[in-house]
Amino acid sequence: MRLDTLRDIACPADREGRPCRAGLVPDGSHPVLRPRAPAPCASAPRAPADGDEILEALLACTGCGTRYPVLLGVPVLVEPLGPYLRTHYYQMEEAQQAHGEFDARTRRFLTERMLDTMERPHGDLFKRPGITHVDRDPQYISAGIEFHYRPPPTEAYPPGSVAAHLTGIPDSPQGEAMAYLARSGRPAGGRALEVGCHVGGFVHDLARRSSFVYGVDLCFRTALVARQIAKGVPCPKGTYSAYEVSDVSVERPFRADTRRNADFLVASGARLPFGDGFFSTVACFHVSEVADDGLALLDDMARVLQPGGLQVLASIDGFRDFARMQGGNGAGPSPHGALKDRLQRTCRLLEEKDNIPWIRRNSRRSFMVHMSHCLWGEKRGAP
């Protein structure tokens, strides 16, 4: 992140049921570390780093005093921090192995936050996810890069095969969203946000027509990869693992432009670290159906959207409890009907489109195919 990013950030801490939303400043007791001199990086030659980039720091809230770390350039704006660190520390360990150890004071801060939330002495500090999850994360990142950055295929599938058909389909919820922006005549510029940005592909698209774009994700590993691709920090990412079959991959090059007008944060979509009405466009693809609290996610996206601003939503029919919350005993509207109802509490529905294919290639022989429901809404109130 850059220091001037701090002007945009509001503390996401909750204090006795009230959001804090005060500003953040570098914590005076902790060094602000800049990107180091050229470091060995297996995947790509090192580009000169932006001199204003911060690699590591501690940020402190001027209101409630809560502190948040910046790790390898990624601000982790999650509160409470301890439980998050305990379930995601394996990702940070992996990042340290690839990019160099954190400063000793940073490690001490992280360890203290985790110890603060131990249920009992001598229990497990790290809550490791299942080994399957750890193994599949890199595959999801690879699939995300395939999907968003579309590197040219290295070999063709047999004509007429399902695989050839699936790889040839140009439609996607993200493509539909960009086509909508183009045909709707909405003015370019303004600040935009994507909640659940994964490896940052749609943030790249939005950055072409926005003054600045934030991508927010709860996964530290994907936020770091998104920053590497867009900002080249801590080192540029120019190759990815293309999975041939489940555990056999080849390293393939891909190209993506540098984006100075974009940045990536780790934060919850239900506790966004921004003030009210901060964005003119807020997008979210396929997050509401997996979020712990779909209602809180939709409400907080509406909060940070300015009146007259555009809400872009895509979902598949996969809500866990959302439809039940609305209707009880499965008698309520369909999941995407429930999403639409909720959207219309704050937004005027502009357009919707159903059955938009969302196709991701997980490996050479495995595709994930969903049909998305896309919604576009405009927040009510005077701009």
- Contacting residues toward Zn ion, per CB under 5 A: 11, 13, 20, 22, 61, 63-64, 66
**Smallest gap, in angstroms, from Cβ of residue 118 to Zn ion?**
24
Closest CB to Zn ion among 68 and 140?
68
- Report the SS3 class of residue 314: strand
Q: In sequence order, what are the residues at sequence separation of 6 or more whose Cβ sits closer than 8 angstroms to the Cβ of residue 323?
A: 330, 332, 333, 334, 335, 337, 338
Closest CA to 314 of 356, 349, 346: 356
**Smallest gap, in angstroms, from Cβ of residue 13 to Zn ion?**
4
Closest CB to Zn ion among 66 and 268?
66
Closest CB to Zn ion among 22 and 166?
22
Q: Quick one: CA torsion of 128, 368, 148, 321, rounded to 10 degrees?
A: -60
**Smallest gap, in angstroms, from Cβ of residue 28 to Zn ion?**
16
- Contact of 266 with 223, CB cutoff 8 Å: yes
**Smallest gap, in angstroms, from Cβ of residue 22 to Zn ion?**
5
Name residue 327's amino acid. Answer: G
Closest CB to Zn ion among 70 and 192?
70
**Smallest gap, in angstroms, from Cβ of residue 268 to Zn ion?**
15
Closest CB to Zn ion among 25 and 164?
25
**Smallest gap, in angstroms, from Cβ of residue 78 to Zn ion?**
13
Closest CB to Zn ion among 79 and 205?
79
Classify the C-alpha dihedral 202-90-244-287 as positive or negative. negative
Closest CA to 70 of 78, 62, 342: 78
Quote the CA–CA distance of 177 and 43 in Å, as a whole number.
Answer: 32
Quote the CA–CA distance of 340 and 281 in Å, as a whole number.
Answer: 18
Closest CA to 105 of 50, 31, 170, 176: 31
Q: In sequence order, what are the residues at sequence separation of 6 or more whose Cβ sits closer than 8 angstroms to the Cβ of residue 287?
A: 195, 196, 269, 297
**Smallest gap, in angstroms, from Cβ of residue 65 to Zn ion?**
7
Name residue 94's amino acid. Answer: E
Closest CB to Zn ion among 12 and 73?
12
- Tokens representing 357 are 């294919």
